[in-house]
């Protein structure tokens, strides 16, 4: 088990989106984070106290969590001195990057020398089956996005929290490193061999009570040429009964793809629903989640009112205004 509390390592992150792992932990499990560590040149801030390694250790931090999700998921050479010093001070290190801690010889040697542990969250812990497409009992909801990193995980977590508050049967199903670090379990979907991705989603959303909802953490985007494969696996393996469309309206282009613009919400709805109905003909698009973090309250409310009028679906920022209307839409199915 990964020991808590954490010191969240932001490194030299170039922007706020790059620290979505740290931001997710801070927003959904704040009791597990004592502070943040930022290197020179870091352009991100999750709003925790900046600490040195020694200060964090004194405050009780047990694990340094690499809170950065950079393109390609690599452990930067400029981080190494910090990571090695953390091990010297007794920190375990946890990472959800594709570049595994266990493949870094100097970190492995230091862990053996100091008796500390390395946790690679992005290593699948089970042998997953190939998907069968067999219909399962219970209900499932999946957020699909116009782009990557638009708030799909936050949507599912906010809906799960609201459903639990209402006494509804609900489980958040993590499919990425941030969700796994937040909840303690799940499947690192983008690290599963392609033929078994949909099967792994079937595996973590098994048969359940007829009135139980699995809130499946979304990944990627059908319209993102780099990361569409994980979205397809979620749509077919998850067999969702309900889709939530997720969007961040202030971006000029797709994340990491300056030559690509995001699709419209209608284009996303048409594409995602057609694909979802291959595995579950009864699937419906029931609501829209808008990430309005870069908009004023007035701008956000005006934008969402326009989207709701155009699409005819409840439209909210579930982190900013609550997920109640999205949960109402699920309850009506």
Low-confidence ranges of the chain (pLDDT < 70): 71-72
Three-state DSSP class for residue 202 = helix
Q: List CB contacts of 280: < 8 A, sequence separation 6 or more.
A: 135, 239, 240, 241
Q: If you write DSSP's letter for every residue of 126-192 in order, what string do you get? A: S-PPPP-----SSEEEEEEESSSSSSHHHHHHHHHHHHHHTT-EEEEE--SHHHHHHHS----GGGS
CA dihedral 71→18→32→227, nearest 10 degrees, is -40
Pull the structure tokens for residue 203. 């595996």
pLDDT for position 72: 62
Is residue 318 within 8 Å of residue 152, measured between CB atoms? Answer: no
Q: In whole angstroms, what is the distance from residue 217 CA to residue 191 CA?
A: 15
Whole-angstrom distance, CA of residue 153 vs CA of residue 144: 10
- Which residues lie below 8 Å from residue 61, measured CB to CB, with a gap of 6+? 5, 6, 7, 34, 35, 51, 91
pTM over 0.85: yes
Q: Residue 237: in which H helix or E strand, if any?
A: helix 228-238
Q: What pLDDT score does 71 carry? A: 66
């Amino acid at each position: 088990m990964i020991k808590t509390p954490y010191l969240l390592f932001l490194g030299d992150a170039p922007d706020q989106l790059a620290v979505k792992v740290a931001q997710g932990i801070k927003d959904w499990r704040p009791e597990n984070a004592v502070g943040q560590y930022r290197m020179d040149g870091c352009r991100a801030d999750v709003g925790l106290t900046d600490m040195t390694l020694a200060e964090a250790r004194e405050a009780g931090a047990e694990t340094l969590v690499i809170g950065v999700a950079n393109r390609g998921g690599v452990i930067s050479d400029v981080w190494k001195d910090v990571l090695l010093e953390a091990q010297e001070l007794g920190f375990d290190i946890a990472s959800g990057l594709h570049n595994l801690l266990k493949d870094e010889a100097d970190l492995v040697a230091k862990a053996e020398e100091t008796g500390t542990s390395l946790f690679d969250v992005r290593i699948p812990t089970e042998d997953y089956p190939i998907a069968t497409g067999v219909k399962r009992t219970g209900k499932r909801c999946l957020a699909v996005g116009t782009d990557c990193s638009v708030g799909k995980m936050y949507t599912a977590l906010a809906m799960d929290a609201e459903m639990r508050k209402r006494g509804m049967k609900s489980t958040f199903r993590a499919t990425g490193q941030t969700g796994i670090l937040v909840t303690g379990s799940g499947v690192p979907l983008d690290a599963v061999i392609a033929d078994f991705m949909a099967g792994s989603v079937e595996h973590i959303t098994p048969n359940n009570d007829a009135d139980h909802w699995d809130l499946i953490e979304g990944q990627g985007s059908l319209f993102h040429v780099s990361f569409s494969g994980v979205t397809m696996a979620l749509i077919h393996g998850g067999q969702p009964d309900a889709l939530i469309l997720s969007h961040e309206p202030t971006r000029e282009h797709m994340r990491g793809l300056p030559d690509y613009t995001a699709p419209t919400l209608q284009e996303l709805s048409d594409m995602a629903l057609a694909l979802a109905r291959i595995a579950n003909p009864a699937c419906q698009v029931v609501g829209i989640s808008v990430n309005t973090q870069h908009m004023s309250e007035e701008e956000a409310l005006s934008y969402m009112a326009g989207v709701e009028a155009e699409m005819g679906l409840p439209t909210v920022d579930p982190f900013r205004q609550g997920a109640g209307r999205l949960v109402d839409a699920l309850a009506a199915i």
